[in-house]
């Protein structure tokens, strides 16, 4: 059994591109759900809209990636408005119902409608991120970092990805510590009270949905650029629930919550997978087949999350006293 290999693979995945995509989505959700209390169950729709916007602009219309990025942001804004205008005046649960339905609707639509533009079930595959990868400053003969086994191309995405996470986290910090942040936190606690103090809560909820949506779309942008492929069936509701898991794991309404949650989530998920894979290969475990590992790791992960909810319901960074206030 190669412990060093297990560790290096696990760490590479915990900090890798997929983790970064989830982290960006979780930062967006932290603003919407953690701070504002908006139950957006359509996280994946915002990520998908970002990814598809990039894919369509670059591959279908053969335009520049640098044009595609603002378009992707615009699509996320449009999606927020579309979902928010009819539902944000209603009770919180309506947004949840509408967003989860919309995310599936979006996936099934891009899968079947306009296959010449959207690629149908195959999605869009090609050199989506070429213009980005051309800017790679790493030396051409770059092999790999010690322990972290990214390729030259992946490392460039990882650097930019963590840069984006840092940027958005700082912006979030400024935002939630300002009077604006105070208003959205008030909305989370009791919207009517905030209305009675003369705040236009609808506008604040809309702003929160839009800004969170743009951050999520950056997850999708990175996805399209890094994987050079956008496929409809990767944008399933599971993604949304993993993002919620990450946020609750790290602690909602905490700036570092999404980052800690992402690293722990992917470290455990990848670690369990790598360990089981190696253990089966080494003959330590004979009642499992290597093909079982994918499912087993989610079972163990689920068990771990239940333990977390029982023994540390506030998440890693949460404040238990604060959580207890809710029960009153």
Partner 1 sequence: MPADHTEELGPQARATQAVLASVERRPGAAKPDPILIADNVKRQFGGLVAVDVEHVQIQRGSITALIGPNGAGKTTFFNLLTGFDAPNTGAWTFNTRQVAGTAPFKLARMGMVRTFQLTKALSRMTVMDNMLLGAKGQIGERFLSSFIAPLWKGQESTNRARAEALLARFNLAEKAGDFAGSLSGGQRKLLEMARALMSGPELVMLDEPMAGVNPALTQSLLQHIKAIREEGTTVLFVEHDMDMVHDISDWVIVMAQGQIIAEGPPDSVMKDQGVIDAYLGAHHDKQLTSTGEALTESPGGSA
Shortest separation between residue 17's beta carbon and partner 1, angstroms? 29
Shortest separation between residue 65's beta carbon and partner 1, angstroms? 27
Cα–Cα distance between 240 and 100 in angstroms, integer?
A: 9
Shortest separation between residue 168's beta carbon and partner 1, angstroms? 13
User: Which residue lies nearer to partner 1 by CB, 37 or 261?
Assistant: 37
Q: Which positions touch partner 1 (CB under 8 A)?
A: 171, 174-175, 178-183, 185-186, 188-190, 192-201, 207, 211, 321-322, 325-326, 328
Structure tokens at 25: 């989505």
User: Which residue lies nearer to partner 1 by CB, 139 or 198?
Assistant: 198
Shortest separation between residue 306's beta carbon and partner 1, angstroms? 24
Give exposure, 213-230, as e/b (b: 16+ Cβ within 10 Å): bbbbbbbbbbbbbbbbbb
User: Which residue lies nearer to partner 1 by CB, 183 or 270?
Assistant: 183
- Cβ within 8 Å of residue 238, ≥6 positions away: none
What's the distance, Cα to Cα, between the start and end of the chain in Å?
51
Q: Indicate the burial class of 77 (C-beta count within 10 angstroms; 0-12, 13-18, 19 or more).
A: middle
User: Which residue lies nearer to partner 1 by CB, 181 or 271?
Assistant: 181
CA 161-167-172 angle, 5° bins: 125
Largest Cα–Cα separation, the chain: 67
Shortest separation between residue 298's beta carbon and partner 1, angstroms? 32
User: Which residue lies nearer to partner 1 by CB, 162 or 180?
Assistant: 180
Shortest separation between residue 323's beta carbon and partner 1, angstroms? 8
Shortest separation between residue 45's beta carbon and partner 1, angstroms? 23
Shortest separation between residue 173's beta carbon and partner 1, angstroms? 10
Shortest separation between residue 193's beta carbon and partner 1, angstroms? 4
CA 211-33-105 angle, 5° bins: 75
Cα–Cα distance between 42 and 49 in angstroms, integer?
A: 11
Beta carbons of 68 and 54 less than 8 angstroms apart: yes
User: Which residue lies nearer to partner 1 by CB, 91 or 328?
Assistant: 328
């Amino acid at each position: 059994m190669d412990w060093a290999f297990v560790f290096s693979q696990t760490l590479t995945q915990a900090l890798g591109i997929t983790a970064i995509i989830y982290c960006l989505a979780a930062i967006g959700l932290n603003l919407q759900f953690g701070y504002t209390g908006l139950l957006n169950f359509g996280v994946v729709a915002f990520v998908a809209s970002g990814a598809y916007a990039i894919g369509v602009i670059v591959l279908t219309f053969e335009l520049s990636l640098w044009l595609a990025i603002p378009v992707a942001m615009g699509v996320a804004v449009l999606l927020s408005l579309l979902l928010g205008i009819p539902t944000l005046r209603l009770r919180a649960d309506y947004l949840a119902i509408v967003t989860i339905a919309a995310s599936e609707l979006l996936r099934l639509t891009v899968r079947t409608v306009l296959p010449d533009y959207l690629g149908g079930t195959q999605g869009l595959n090609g050199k989506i991120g070429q213009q980005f990868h051309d800017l790679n400053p790493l030396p051409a003969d770059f092999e790999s970092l010690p322990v972290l086994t990214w390729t030259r191309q992946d490392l460039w995405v990882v650097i930019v990805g963590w840069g984006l996470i840092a940027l958005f986290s700082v912006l979030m910090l400024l935002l939630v510590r300002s009077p604006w942040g105070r208003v959205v936190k008030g909305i989370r606690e009791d919207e009517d009270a905030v209305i009675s103090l003369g705040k236009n809560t609808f506008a604040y909820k809309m702003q929160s949905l839009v800004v969170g949506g743009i951050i999520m779309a950056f997850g999708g942008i990175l996805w399209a650029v890094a994987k050079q492929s956008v496929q409809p069936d990767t944008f399933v509701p599971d993604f949304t629930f993993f993002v919620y898991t990450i946020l609750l794991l790290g602690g909602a309404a905490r700036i570092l919550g999404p980052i800690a949650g992402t690293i722990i989530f992917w470290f455990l998920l990848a670690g369990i997978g790598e360990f089981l894979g190696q253990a089966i290969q080494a003959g330590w475990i004979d009642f499992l087949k290597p093909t079982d590992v994918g499912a087993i790791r989610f079972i163990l992960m689920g068990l771990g999350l239940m333990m977390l909810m029982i023994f540390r319901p506030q998440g890693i960074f949460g404040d238990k006293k604060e959580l207890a206030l809710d029960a009153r």
